[in-house]
Amino acid sequence: MKKYRFLICIFPFIAFILEMLPYGAVLNFATEGDGVIRRTFSYFDMTVFGYANFGPILTAVFSVGALALCVIACIKHKRSLYKVCVMLLAIAFVLSLCPFMLGIRYFSVVGLLISISLAVSSAVAFWYYKILKNAKEAH
């Protein structure tokens, strides 16, 4: 099963790449009349944080931390590190859904792909943690 341990690093890395793109976080600005200008930003852009959309930056921080921990867990190969990876990825997934609190207009397709990537990575990390747990109990 050691050959599958680097599988848990793929989806957080995909989420990280998508978070760097300037299409994930959405801000809507009102214009004169009834118009709305929709602008998209990177998850790491502080402009989004300045306009009180806290979900993207918090998602980015937790997912980068989870990615780093997943890499460390793959190298050290300790079960407890995989458990923390599952928790961090699950928190990042929940935080990635925060723009829904502001409305569907504040969510983008890239944001949806980030959420899916974080959910899949959390599930894969949980799966691998369970495999390691069952292997240890079998010995």
Nearest CA to 40 out of 20, 61, 62 is that of 20
Is the pTM above the cut of 0.85?
yes
Q: What domains lie within the chain, and their CATH numbers?
A: 8-138 (1.20.140)
E strands, 22-135, in order = 25-30, 36-41
User: Comparing 16-20, 104-108, 130-134, which segment has the lowest mean pLDDT?
Assistant: 130-134
Alpha-carbon distances, residue 102 vs 24, 25, 46, 57, 109 (angstroms): 15, 12, 18, 15, 16
pLDDT at site 78: 83
